[in-house]
């Protein structure tokens, strides 16, 4: 395929910028670049335009740098919300691509951004917050926070904990009923009380064997003679 050399008059992504001299297919130049005034044939007359094109290129790049620097500061404060279809377990149906993010930026914030400036190593396939890197300019990078949420409610993982609560309460009530059913005497008098046994042993040691109890002394009777004298008087 024959090639032709041209001078670019506008920035063309993937091909070059103003004042660049590039070789392209002759048909591409003839059918697209020249009619759209994106390039001119490389001739001595057209070479005189190169200096003016370089100055225009420098002005354009300075403007883009300032614009993208401001955009990076503004985008860093935003949260791009994307709703997707997902199952009850939170598993997404499909994925979120750079094109989807670019469309949502335009829809939510009226920000026109080429999807090629949204740097994704792989499409987003999980719910939650994601930090996305933006290549806004050769010298400007930014970050965008993307929040992916499900259109349908996702089952909460705490359901298993709530199911376990009635069992614990029921078990505690059963234990209380068992305690209430026991007789009070059994609670008041524990079996095998060591302190009671020790007191019995000490009492037995304090009382010597074979010793009879001392009887109370009787009052002595008066002699009979004394009684007769009292009668005579």
pLDDT more than 70, % of the chain: 65
- CB hemisphere CA count around 139 (13 angstroms): 9
Higher pLDDT, 100 or 167: 100
98 and 38, same domain (yes or no): no
Q: Strand order of the sheet with strand 140-150?
A: 79-84, 140-150, 128-137, 118-119
Q: For residue 170, is pLDDT > 90?
A: no
Q: For residue 50, is pLDDT > 80?
A: yes
7 and 65, same domain (yes or no): yes
Tokens in use for 35? Answer: 């009619």
| pLDDT (mean) for 112-138 | 92
| pLDDT (mean) for 55-75 | 93
Number of folded domains in the chain? 2
47 band by pLDDT with thresholds 50, 70 and 90: confident
pTM: 0.54
67 and 110, same domain (yes or no): no
Determine the pLDDT at residue 104: 95
52 and 94, same domain (yes or no): no
Cα separation of 140 and 135, whole Å? Answer: 7
In a domain, 165, yes or no: no
Q: For residue 152, is pLDDT > 70?
A: yes
| Of 36, 71, 106, the domain-final residue | 71
The parent domain of residue 56 ranges over: 3-71
Q: How many C-beta neighbours within 10 Å does residue 127 have?
A: 17
Q: For residue 32, is pLDDT > 90?
A: yes
| Of 49, 71, 93, the domain-final residue | 71
In a domain, 222, yes or no: no
7 and 60, same domain (yes or no): yes
20 and 61, same domain (yes or no): yes
Q: For residue 23, is pLDDT > 90?
A: yes
Determine the pLDDT at residue 176: 55
In a domain, 156, yes or no: no
In a domain, 121, yes or no: yes
In a domain, 231, yes or no: no
Residue 63's domain is classified under what CATH number? 3.40.5.10
In a domain, 227, yes or no: no
Q: For residue 83, is pLDDT > 80?
A: yes
Q: For residue 223, is pLDDT > 70?
A: no
146 and 82, same domain (yes or no): yes
3-class SS string, the chain: CCEEEEEECCCECCCECCCCEEEEEHHHHHHHHCCCCCEEECCHHHHCCHHHHHHHHHHHHHHHHHHHHHHHHHHCCCEEEEEECECCCCCECCCECHHHHHHHHHHHHCCCCCHHHEECCCCECCCEEEEEEEEEECCEEEEEEEEEEECCCCCCCCHHHHHHHHHHHHHHHHHHHHHHHCCHHHHHCCCCCHHHHHHHHHHHHHCCCCCCCCCCCCCCCCCHHHHHHHHHC
Q: For residue 213, is pLDDT > 60?
A: no
In a domain, 212, yes or no: no
- Taking alpha carbons only, the member of 159, 155, 148, 146 closest to residue 87 is 155
Cα separation of 103 and 111, whole Å? Answer: 9
| Of 93, 115, 150, the domain-final residue | 150
Determine the pLDDT at residue 164: 47
Using alpha carbons, list the distances in angstroms from residue 63 to 56, 82, 185: 11, 31, 95
66 and 82, same domain (yes or no): no
Residue 111's domain is classified under what CATH number? 3.10.430.100
62 and 83, same domain (yes or no): no
Q: For residue 120, is pLDDT > 70?
A: yes
Average pLDDT, the chain: 77
Q: For residue 33, is pLDDT > 90?
A: yes
């Amino acid at each position: 395929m024959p090639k032709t050399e041209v001078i670019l008059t506008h920035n063309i992504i993937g091909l070059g910028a103003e004042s660049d001299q590039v070789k392209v297919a002759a048909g591409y130049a003839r059918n697209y670049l020249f009619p759209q005034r994106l390039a001119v044939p490389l001739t001595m007359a057209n070479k005189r335009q190169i200096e003016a094109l370089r100055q225009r290129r420098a002005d354009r790049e300075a403007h883009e740098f300032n614009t993208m620097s401001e955009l990076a500061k503004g985008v860093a404060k935003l949260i791009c919300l994307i709703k997707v279809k997902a199952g009850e377990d939170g598993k997404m149906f499909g994925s979120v691509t750079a094109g989807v993010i670019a469309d949502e930026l335009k829809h939510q914030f009226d920000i026109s951004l080429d999807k090629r400036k949204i740097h994704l190593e792989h499409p987003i396939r999980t719910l939650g917050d994601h930090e996305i890197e933006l290549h806004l300019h050769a010298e400007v990078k930014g970050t965008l926070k993307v929040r992916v949420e499900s259109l349908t409610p996702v089952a909460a993982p705490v359901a298993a904990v709530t199911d376990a609560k009635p069992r614990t309460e029921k078990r505690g009530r059963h234990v209380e009923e068992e305690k209430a059913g026991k007789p009070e005497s059994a609670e008041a008098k524990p079996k095998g009380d060591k302190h009671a046994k020790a007191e019995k042993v000490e009492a037995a040691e304090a009382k010597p064997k074979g010793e009879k109890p001392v009887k109370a002394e009787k009052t002595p009777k008066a002699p009979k003679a004394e009684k007769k004298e009292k009668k005579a008087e």
